[in-house]
Amino acid sequence: MEIIPAIDIRGGKCVRLYQGDYARETVFDEDPVKVAVRWRGLGARRIHVVDLDGARAGRRVNAEIVREIARAVDCAVQSGGGIRDLPTLRETLDGGVERAVLGTAAVKDPELLRQAVAWAGERLIVSVDARDGLVSLEGWTEATDLPAEAWIGQLSEAGVGRIVYTDIGRDGRLEGPNYEMYERLTAETSVAVIAAGGVTTTEDVGRLRECGVEAAIVGRALYTGDIDLLGALAAAR
């Protein structure tokens, strides 16, 4: 299983939001590029970069920082936030990012999803962010009545090969992931699942590996020191 450090960018800085609340922000570093270099130096093989400003604005805001990160590290970078049309998806992938992440646009624009699957193939990830089992959009600010598991089934039928599933209720709380959901997803769907939200300890990493997820994104716990990247990488093997 892969461990993927997360870098969330807002206002050009590396931040974390508590449960996606833009009013509850903690700045962990002024320089996201430096942070990426640090995680790569500790052994990360992939880094997950989110343009939080872009997710909220509906357009990429921190695209240049994402490109700088991709140039600065000799590992894979995947990125999302504000990708709402095919030209932006192409621009993202042409800018050095290995995988691009669609979230809101995948739900709201079925034709874009179809085109993205056809054009990007394995380089496409769809982010499924759920609160109480229902999909949330627009940087977690817009609730829907779309059940997450039903949506993942539709994504599989549409040819999507990989998702990031985030349980918003677990994100940033350092209380552990939603193991039951990950067990169901890996057992009942053909898509590769990347877990996000609540990964706090090396024990969490071991349990997620047993759930059969492809990777785990680790965010706040890395920045607070609750989890050590080297330890997490070892636990994932």
In the block, which residue shows the tokens 């970078």? 77
User: Is residue 85 among the annotated active site residues?
Assistant: no
Give rounded-to-5 percent helix, strand, coil for the chain.
Answer: 40, 30, 30
**Quick one: 10 exposed, middle or buried, by C-beta within 10 A (0-12, 13-18, 19+)?**
buried
User: Is residue 129 among the annotated active site residues?
Assistant: yes
User: What is the signed CA dihedral for 110, 113, 118, 120, rounded to 10 degrees?
Assistant: 170
| Residue 16 and residue 169 in contact, taking contact as beta carbons nearer than 8 Å | no
Q: What is the DSSP string of 129-144?
A: EEETTEEEETTTTEEE
User: Strands, DSSP E only, in the chain?
Assistant: 2-10, 13-18, 21-29, 46-51, 76-80, 99-102, 124-131, 134-137, 142-147, 162-167, 192-196, 215-218
- DSSP letter (8 states) at residue 198: -
Q: Which of 51, 53, 129, 167 is catalytic?
A: 129
Q: Which of 8, 51, 167, 204 is catalytic?
A: 8
Rounded Cα gap, residues 32 and 168, in angstroms = 23
| Residue 148 and residue 130 in contact, taking contact as beta carbons nearer than 8 Å | yes
What are the residue numbers of the active site? 8, 129
